[in-house]
Each structure stands twice: as C-alpha cells, then as structure tokens.
Structure 1
Amino acid sequence: MAAKDLDDENLPKVNPNESLETISNVFFRKRFGVEKIEIRSETVRDKGIDFHIEVNKESASGGSVYNNYRFAVQLKATNKIKKGTDGSFGIQISTSNISYLLNNGMRAYYVFYHHPTDCFYYDSVKNILDQIKSKNEQW
C-alpha cells in the first residue's frame, strides 16, 4: 500500500482566528509573574470571560498570599486596528458581551491584542459603558 500525500487528504483547514486567539492567550500569560498574579482560564463553555485574575498580596512574613482581589478579562485579538482621528482605536464588541461582563459582579476589562505589533491595550468595561451611554443615553 502506497503512502498517501497529506495534500491529497480531505483535512480540516486551520482557522486563522483560532490561531490568533491561541497566540494572544500565550503572550498575555507571559506578561505576568506567577508570584503576584494568578490567571485562571475560563475553560468550560466560555461565554464572554476568558480569564479570572487574582492579584496576590505580599505577606509581612514573606511570600505571597491569596486575598481574593479578582477581576474578569475578555481577551480580543486582531490583526487590524482601525484608528480614529483622535488617536483612539475601535474594535467591534457585541453589546450582549458588555451586558454579560457587567452582570459578573466584579471589575471587568477588555484586553485587546494587536498581533502585528505584539501590543496589548486595555480598558475597563465601565469606561466602555460610559462611552456608549454618552452617545446613547437609552442604552
């Protein structure tokens, strides 16, 4: 039996968005020291929160202790940023995701990863909501 060439196989295609999500995840985790920050992934049926992050506190007796100071993060990755005339940039966010993060009951942040520059940008969901409300009071 002759070996088959993989090019002749009917195999699933790589999804560039999934690859970008994996890249952003890896680079995000590398930004934090495990002594001060614990990143807990939302691995089961992510509905809009990618991580819960707990900031550890230095103990007077040495080392770090858990203090339950936590916040939620929704990580978004992109290859393109559309810059505004004021220097800001925008990325499409579903209003249902904003509502979901607000219902979480803890501080929440959007973190945007721009792959070509390997840069992260962030803003709190509260700031984003305030911007939306300034444009549409009924939201």
Structure 2
Amino acid sequence: MQDDLLVVGFDLETRTEVHIGDRPLEQWRTLGYGRRETVVCFYCWHGIGAPAATKVPLLARGRIGGLVRPHFAHPANMAPPGGHTQETVWHINAKHCLAVGPAACPTSAECGWSSGPSSVTAVRTSTSSSPTAPVSPWRLSVS
C-alpha cells in the first residue's frame, strides 16, 4: 500500500521536518545516504522504534511518473526490526499536512468519503499521481 511510504524525514542542518515533495529527488539524494547524510529518518531520530537521536540517513526513492511515488527509505539493514508501524507513518504524515496548511491538503470535493461528528471530520484523501500531493491518507476537517 503506497500510504505506508516514508515521506517525512528530518534535516539535521536546519533541525526541521522535511517532506519528499519539498525538493526535487536529486537534491534529496545529495543530502541522503552515502553523500552528505544530513537527511535522516524522522521516526528514528525522534526515538520512535529506535533509541532517540538514532541517525539513519535516508535514501530518496521513486521517480516522477513511475510506478511508486517518490519516498524516503532506510538503507538495507538499517531499519528498526519490523520497520515503523503504518499508524505511526500516517500520524506523522497527517501532522505534516496540518503544519504546512490547508493549501497543501485536498479540498473536501476531492475526498472519497468522510465520517465523524459534525464539528470535526476525518476525511480520506484522494489518491493522486502528483509528487506534491499530500501523503497522509487522512486529514481533519473542522467546521
């Protein structure tokens, strides 16, 4: 399932969370594993599934228009045992979507369905081939 893809990393130079869609893939490759190694796994660095401050430089994978959308990946044998849980990936992706603001999130017209109380709604986002589309499968709609 493509919603499991790792799309949020952590930039050690700027000390900020980064998204695979923020820059062209070639720039992420330059900053990742085997090169500058300043973009690391957000989850490992923050102690989710690994001891805090675990530095795992990421690979930038995928290709615009390819079968799998662009994403980050752990190098071979450097992921935590069992990887990061799907719920963790969704959670961080949703937080990133909220942090970048509504312009980066799809409108309710693009969503397939919604549920929840009238004031807060969990919305399943549409799948998009756009490399800059939000990657979280969920977003909150507050009315």
Give the TM-score normalised by structure 2: 0.24
- In proportion to residue count, which structure has more strand? 1
TM-score using structure 1 length? 0.25
Q: Which has the larger radius of gyration?
A: 1
